[in-house]
Amino acid sequence: MARAPTTFTCSACGHEAPKWHGRCLGCGEWNTLVEEPRAPAKGGGAPAARAGSPVRLADVKAVEVARLTTGIAELDRVLGGGLVPGSLVLLGGSPGIGKSTLTSMALGNLAGAGRRTLYVSGEESAAQIKLRAERLPGAALEVPVLAETDLDTVLATLDAERPEVCVVDSVQTLHAADLTGAAGSVGQVREVADRITRLAKARHMAVLLVGHVTKEGALAGPRVLEHLVDCVLQFEGERERTYRTLRALKNRFGSTSEAGVFEMRQGGLVEVQDASARFVGEATRAPGSVVLAAMEGSRPLLVEVQALVSPSELVPPRRVANGIDRNRLALVLAVLGRHAGVGVGSADVFVNVAGGVRVDEPGADLAVALAVASAARGIVPGDEGKPVASRASAVTKQTGQTGQMRPIACFGEIGLTGELRSVGHPERRLAEAAKFGLTPAIAPLGSGRKATEAATLRAALRAALGAAQSSERSARAA
Ligand code: TYD
Ligand code: MG
């Protein structure tokens, strides 16, 4: 029998099998076998290829490449100053988040600036792409499109058209005829990306590869491509909400600490230049609401963290986290109960980062803790522990107006023993909070003059919720 042209290799241990198994026979991992073309048999002995000639780094000629600006400032910034010609950028994100919209807008701007572009779509027909482009600003309708799923046809077209910038939407829909796996399988995705990469490098095209990520972010697809491409961008947010964040997870031509914030509107994605102002302006200033001074890459960003604590009929009670990691929420709740006397064991806890923003940094711990404690106690943070009802009149007396109190800002990581640990860039976070008058912010020790420093979670709670926090504890817990 002729040998099959492909083999299945475990992506965890490298074990090879002639057919697909759900579980690797080599290491026992599930779902790790990947279809690959079989490597041609090599003869043993001395290497046949000619030796290359290494060059001293100092003698290497580095050519200054002019970057292609996409005309979307936030995207250019995340890319490190625009697209590098000949580079491969992978744009990952869950379906419906706006990847096609963002790439269509970028290509439209580039086409408008006189660049040769091409939009390859395996997902939508040319008519559907046109419908979207009609809603977008700029020269989106000038972009030539190719609706095609066959990889060879796509490569031949790219070779013939030689666009300077090309979008492939999405890498999961293209199909290499010489591999048997279905489009979107790990083997297919890797083959598609590999061949596009080689052509792009040879022809000096910048390629934006769009890739879907599932909710878990780990399934067949973009993850296996990360080492292949020059830049990995992640587009995040919740489909039903308007805000989206764009982050670089890997960037060979720039920093990975930049992030851009967008808003999905009727006419496409709009850059949100001063996101902090938006989020602080929308903060509810109610029990269960605090402002987190977060870092989005090198930029500080103020976001509102909200919590709701309500008695539960469920065992175990609900723990719902939007915009923060669920496990992080569990940890914060455990420390709150164990070290700060805020037990929510028999209550449903919902935590939400307003606006659909995601904050994945340990600095968010304190904001989550304060929001939950404030919700559990029914106390507005920063209001010296006055119950909600008497608050309005107190404010009126103090400030002579019925306007609402300023929300309280905070940041800090919570340790397992209830201590507050310092996080990166305290001075930038504090400066951003100060810009909106949210001083002093509650922060870990050593953060600086503009902060109310707290060594422990308990001390931070006292600073935010006042003395009522400890005296009310026993009454409420009952
Ligand atoms: P899309 O870019 O197709 O998402 P993806 O390619 O990531 O799957 O669009 C996502 C959503 O955005 C879609 O449900 C419609 C909406 N949308 C707007 O709200 N305004 C617009 O101008 C456009 C083009 C789309
Ligand atoms: Mg799409």
- What spacing in Å lies between the alpha carbon of 123 and ligand 2's midpoint? 7
User: How is residue 80 written in tokens?
Assistant: 């490190």
Which of the ligands is closest to the CA of residue 132?
A: 1
What are the Cα distances from residue 261, in Å, to 235, 298, 368, 410, 411? 10, 13, 22, 21, 20
Check if 172 has its Cβ closer than 6 Å to any atom of ligand 1. Answer: no
8 A C-beta contact, residue 451 and residue 426: yes
For ligand 2, an ion, list residues with CB under 5 A.
100
Instruction: Decide whether any atom of ligand 1 lies within 6 Å of the 100 Cβ.
Output: yes
Q: Is the CB of 267 under 6 A from ligand 1?
A: yes
Q: Which of 264, 266, 269 to mutate to test the pocket of ligand 1 (most atoms within 8 A of CB)?
A: 264
Indicate which atom in ligand 1 lies nearest the CA of residue 93.
Answer: 7
Distance 264 CA to ligand 1 centre (A): 8
- pTM (2 decimals)? 0.76
CA 169 to ligand 2 centroid distance, Å: 7
Structure letter (DSSP) for residue 52? P
Mutate to test the pocket of ligand 1, among 72, 101, 238 (most ligand atoms within 8 A of CB): 101
Distance of CA 351 to the CA centre of its chain: 18
| Sign of the CA dihedral running 245, 361, 473, 406 | negative
Closest CA to 223 of 79, 15, 11: 11
The dihedral through the CA atoms of 77, 413, 292, 284 has a sign that is positive
How many A from CA of 155 to the centre of ligand 1? 27
pLDDT given at position 225: 81
Q: Decide if 219 contacts 32 (C-beta within 8 A).
A: no
List the structure tokens of 90. 């992978």
CB atoms within 10 A of CB 204: 12
Per-residue pLDDT, 62: 77
State residue 41's pLDDT score.
60
Q: How far is the CA of 138 from the centre of ligand 2 (A)?
A: 19
Question: Distance (Å, rounded) from C-alpha 432 to C-alpha 321?
Answer: 25
Give the integer Cα–Cα distance in Å for 163 and 160.
9
Q: In the prediction, which pLDDT does 44 show?
A: 54
The pLDDT of residue 40? 62
Closest to 259 (Cα-Cα) out of 382, 442, 78, 410: 78
Q: What is the per-residue pLDDT for 29?
A: 78
Cα-to-centroid distance, 124 and ligand 1 (Å): 13
Q: What is the pLDDT along the chain (478 residues), one digit of tens a residue?
A: 566 677 887 766 677 888 888 888 887 878 877 777 776 665 555 667 889 899 998 888 877 778 999 999 999 989 989 999 999 999 988 888 899 999 999 999 999 999 999 999 999 999 999 999 999 988 999 999 999 999 999 999 999 999 999 999 988 899 998 887 777 777 788 889 999 999 999 999 999 999 887 655 444 455 678 888 999 998 887 777 778 889 888 899 888 777 888 988 888 899 887 888 888 888 888 899 999 999 887 788 999 999 999 999 888 999 999 989 999 999 999 999 999 999 998 999 999 998 778 888 899 999 999 999 999 999 988 765 454 444 444 443 343 333 456 789 999 999 999 999 999 999 999 999 998 888 889 999 998 888 999 999 999 999 998 865 544 444 444 3
